[in-house]
Chain A
Amino acid sequence: MKELIQFYLDPRNDLWGQTITFFGLCLIPIAVSIVLGVMIGILVYRNAVLSFVAINLSNLIRAIPVIAALFIFVPIFKIGFLPAAIALSLLGIPPVLLNTYVGLRGIDPAAIEAARGMGMTDLQIMLRVQAPLVLPVLAAGVRTCAVQVVATAPLGGLIGAGGYGEYIIDGVNRLDTIEILAGSILVAALAMLFEIGLSVAEKRLTPAGLRVRAVGI
């Protein structure tokens, strides 16, 4: 315990710098995944062919081993933060995309028909009807995405992305249990923080009128 605190306080370990890097390595891919996942979901949900392609591609991505995904971009972007961030973004898209799609498809078409019939514009339909109904489902997807990205980000240490992963990788290389532990604890804590925070957000976002069954992806 004491050694652990000593490790964190040791300026050579640059806890602050690594924390910023690690947060960047998580938050940027999560944000990119949300934006792209939602956008693609909205673009494809009305078209059977596009949906089919998007969903199967998502499943394909999920089938790629995390390690492999991490190394895929190395030949193009070399090592460092960027290839890791891109790989993590790619990994994060499927849960967001799938939940966006499922959420949109789950809206009663009659509600949309009624909305159009009463003279709502497309924007009004989106803001007043679709968004409130999709958000809880989407939140479940974001939670999955976030936890997955945080859990995978330490592997970025393998390709020199920095962050807490560096402690773990370095610790393994040097068989330094304290260093391994120091990195692992931080990663686990962060993953749990995301999980809890986003669960709360998800409940908050579920309108009282419906108890949406979150789609487990």
Chain B
Amino acid sequence: MAEISFQAITKQFGSSTKPSVDAVTFTVPSDTTCMFVGKSGAGKTTLLRMVNRLIEPTSGKIVIAGANVLEEDPIELRRHIGYVIQQVGLFPHMTVAENIRVTAEVTGGWKKSRLDARVDELLDLVGLPPSEYRRRFPRELSGGQQQRVGLARALTTDPMILLMDEPFGALDAITRAQMQDELLRIQSNVRKTILFVTHDLEEALKLGDLIAVMHQGKLEQLGAPVDLLTHPVNDMVARLVGSDNILRELQYLTAATAATAGARGRFAPGEALPGCPRDASLLSAMLKLFETGAPALVLESPGAGVGGGAGGGSGASGGGGGAAGDYITLASIISTLMKGRSREGWPESATLAASGADSGNSGNSGNGGNGGKGADGLALAKA
């Protein structure tokens, strides 16, 4: 319902010689999460803030659900778009409950009793027990709790769109991972169109249905996380997403990407092979191969027996006969990893430079609980 379409959107600040956002055109489908990634100064924040007109574009259009935002009243527009920023910006003189309700009070048209119920509902949603937190003041909350309230506040009027500018950027790694899981859970409940700025690639891969890679004001590539890992359009994107980073590929590519048919003849007839879900990560498939010592795993459709659309492979789950491409072996995993690596050979400096610091600490976070991202049609691994 709330598709967001950027059409040659450009912003050049008065003081600068080149545009901060340069003729960017792309569309974010309704109810999806699109991550803006790129180096500092790439124009992510500027792009985001043009959506709710905190920054006025120099030229171009932003169309939300068919309406050009430049033709709307900015105040009204902002009241229908949730906005979450890294510094949170809770109002220190208001309680948690007041902070959450003020969004609706400003907009108007909410009954007091309905609003009270809404506040509790939202506190529950963001994982803060209302009876305990309703009356607290912001300075009595931890950073993570403050951002939970920030998120609740942005959701008060149930906007269809949520803009988030590095919302978890100031949190420690563990809290950040928790908040990411919470956001996945919340998003699976409420379904918003979310535009999310981050410079943490793991975060982008974990949360995004789509990732928009920005560089010097230009959109370099838009695609699903797997697309970016497997088909980066140029070296810049490849380095940024670390598509030559083996660990990352193992974590984020699904077992299905390494499916092979050719292995079948090599197994003893009737040999029972262990199974492996199609949407498991390559990493977990590889570990299972090591653990079990089996020559291959049988790919199981995740929705076997449930989802009607599971299609051809659903008969395979037992371990006997299966359709083509139903096995995964060490060899097939390695050949998947080697695909597209011919350009640079095995990664050396590039991997370290692009993802060393980042993936070093937050790599763990990818293994936290997974909220079940419900991103239909994406072959992203649920680690």
Q: Quick one: which of B240-271 are within 8 Å of A by CB?
A: none
A133 in contact (CB, < 8 A)? yes
- Min CB distance, B106 to chain A, in Å? 5
- Min CB distance, B42 to chain A, in Å? 20
B52 in contact (CB, < 8 A)? yes
**Docked pose: A172 CA to B94 CA in angstroms:** 54
Does B54 lie within 8 Å of A117, measured CB to CB? yes
What B residues does A108 contact at CB under 8 A? 87, 89, 92
Total cross-chain contacts (CB, 8 A): 79
With A128-B102, A209-B95, A210-B139 as known contacts, state yes or no: A119 contacts B78, CB within 8 Å.
Answer: yes
Q: Quick one: which of A200-217 are within 8 Å of B by CB?
A: 207-210
Q: Which of B87, B93, B94, B103 contacts A118 (CB 8 A)?
A: B103
B171 in contact (CB, < 8 A)? no
Q: Which of A116, A124, A207 contacts B54 (CB 8 A)?
A: A116
Interface residues of chain A: helix, strand, loop or mixed (majority)? helix
B 87-115 to A, binary, CB cutoff 8 A, 1 in contact else 0: 11111111100000011001100000000
B138 in contact (CB, < 8 A)? yes
**Docked pose: A168 CA to B76 CA in angstroms:** 62
**Docked pose: A118 CA to B85 CA in angstroms:** 11
Does A119 lie within 8 Å of B138, measured CB to CB? no
**Docked pose: A210 CA to B140 CA in angstroms:** 10
B137 in contact (CB, < 8 A)? yes
B79 in contact (CB, < 8 A)? yes
Q: Quick one: which of B127-171 are within 8 Å of A by CB?
A: 137-139, 150, 153-154, 163
**Docked pose: A112 CA to B88 CA in angstroms:** 11
A121 in contact (CB, < 8 A)? yes
What B residues does A121 contact at CB under 8 A? 75
- Min CB distance, B151 to chain A, in Å? 12
**Docked pose: A209 CA to B92 CA in angstroms:** 6
**Docked pose: A64 CA to B164 CA in angstroms:** 52
A181 in contact (CB, < 8 A)? no
Q: Which of B79, B95, B139, B150 contacts A119 (CB 8 A)?
A: B79
With A208-B137, A209-B139 as known contacts, state yes or no: A119 contacts B106, CB within 8 Å.
Answer: yes
A 113-129 to B, binary, CB cutoff 8 A, 1 in contact else 0: 11111111100100011
Interface size class of B (residues with CB under 8 A): 20 to 34
What B residues does A113 contact at CB under 8 A? 54, 85, 87, 89
**Docked pose: A208 CA to B78 CA in angstroms:** 29
What A residues does B91 contact at CB under 8 A? 111, 114-115, 128-129
In the complex formed, the residue of B with least CB distance to A136 is B93
Does B76 lie within 8 Å of A119, measured CB to CB? yes
What B residues does A128 contact at CB under 8 A? 91, 102, 106
A76 in contact (CB, < 8 A)? no
What A residues does B233 contact at CB under 8 A? none
What B residues does A116 contact at CB under 8 A? 54, 78
Residue count of chain A within 8 Å CB distance of chain B: 23
Does B88 lie within 8 Å of A118, measured CB to CB? no
A132 in contact (CB, < 8 A)? yes
- Min CB distance, B294 to chain A, in Å? 54
Does B93 lie within 8 Å of A207, measured CB to CB? yes
**Docked pose: A121 CA to B88 CA in angstroms:** 19
Does B83 lie within 8 Å of A114, measured CB to CB? yes
Does B87 lie within 8 Å of A209, measured CB to CB? no
**Docked pose: A114 CA to B88 CA in angstroms:** 7
**Docked pose: A109 CA to B54 CA in angstroms:** 14
Point out which of B79, B80, B89, B94 has the most chain A C-beta atoms below 10 A from its C-beta: B89
**Docked pose: A114 CA to B76 CA in angstroms:** 15
A110 in contact (CB, < 8 A)? yes
What B residues does A210 contact at CB under 8 A? 92-93, 137, 139
What B residues does A209 contact at CB under 8 A? 92-95, 137-139
In the complex formed, the residue of A with least CB distance to B104 is A118
Does B78 lie within 8 Å of A117, measured CB to CB? yes
What B residues does A120 contact at CB under 8 A? 75, 106
**Docked pose: A210 CA to B93 CA in angstroms:** 6
- Min CB distance, A124 to chain B, in Å? 6
- Min CB distance, B344 to chain A, in Å? 42
Point out which of A112, A113, A121 has the most chain B C-beta atoms below 10 A from its C-beta: A113
In the complex formed, the residue of A with least CB distance to B150 is A114
With A117-B85, A119-B78, A119-B79 as known contacts, state yes or no: A111 contacts B54, CB within 8 Å.
Answer: no
Does B139 lie within 8 Å of A111, measured CB to CB? no
Q: Quick one: which of A68-118 are within 8 Å of B by CB?
A: 108-118
**Docked pose: A124 CA to B90 CA in angstroms:** 15
* B-binding residues in A (CB < 8 A): 108-121, 124, 128-129, 132-133, 207-210
A117-B83, A210-B92 are known; give 11 further A-B pairs, CB within 8 A.
A110-B89, A113-B54, A114-B88, A114-B89, A118-B83, A119-B106, A128-B106, A129-B91, A132-B93, A207-B92, A209-B137
